[in-house]
Chain A
Amino acid sequence: MADYVIDERVDITDVVCPMTFVKAKVAMEELEIGQVLAITMNDGEPVQNVPRSFKEEGQQILKLIDNENGTYDLIVKKLED
């Protein structure tokens, strides 16, 4: 059982850096503090950079889930507005 509830989802597999983080950030903007966003991203560069970028902005990384199809789901809790 996951100890979080996903409030919103965004798929950033259709864009490349730096639009990956931009699209995820725009989606995050719609959330309230304390809500959770699930971001589906491609393996490789996004998995390297998007979690780090969110961390730098003060958001909480809850989990990175390998979907075992070349994509990952990054679960981020919004702490900073």
Chain B
Amino acid sequence: MLRSEALRILVAFLLLSGGAAVASDSGHAEHDLSAKALEVFSVGPLKVTNSMLVTWVVAAAVIAFARHATKQIREVPEGAQNLWEWLVEGLYGFLEGVVGHDLVKKTFWFFSTIFLFILATNWFGLIPGVGTIGWSHVPIGTTSFSHIETPLLRGVNADLNMTLAMSMIFFVCWTVWALQANGPGGFLLHIFGPKGQTTGALKVLMIAVFLCVGVLEVVSILFRPVSLSFRLYGNVFAGENMLESMSAIVPSLAWLIPIPFYFMELLVGLVQALVFMLLTAVFTLLICTHEEGAHH
């Protein structure tokens, strides 16, 4: 029964990818992938864009799968539960190695969610049909189907709003964790305070120097959400652009040329999820480690 289901999904995939190949087959050399997500429909004042739609679909799918996998917990896991346990335990062990035993207990929920969500959305965006099914303002019959102005679905992280939202949530969490770990005074001391052992006149000089270093530190901290969101958006959007260009480069081979790049995008999707998680984890580690910890 499971096998027939898998087969049906495979057939659906093949049909979709066939459709995508046909759609981009007679593609123009010019490609105009919109840099921002486009509105699909609106509920009152709320505009629903194509990337929001995919966000909800992926989030619902991940939640449904997690609920399904953990509905009946077995002593000896198998199937979906096994996969889910392997994912969570692997991530936990990995993060424990990065941020340490105590911090991972407190922050694991955030980093694992970020990683799994970004991975799921990045890979969902590679399914043929995302970005190739949609509306065209050109009447059917007069020209090819290749010109889709408003795709129904769009890669989630190809929308700067989404990546910026995730970075800002991290920024808030980071501030909360930093204040919890250091206290308000310790937090300021951590940023502006002098590091290392010095005495006498040198100490006074060091305090002045580290005050200036603290100002630089504040600027770099404030720039983190920007660089985090730009990095993820830039990678995913560039990937979508590249796939589109590759399928338009030789119209008769539009089904063949993008295939290697699909594998590269699979890798990029994984690496970018890893990068986002690792960077946020390391930023958290940097602010939450006490200098006393280095002595023992």
Report if A and B associate in a common complex: no
Binding site for B on A (CB under 8 A): none
Binding site for A on B (CB under 8 A): none
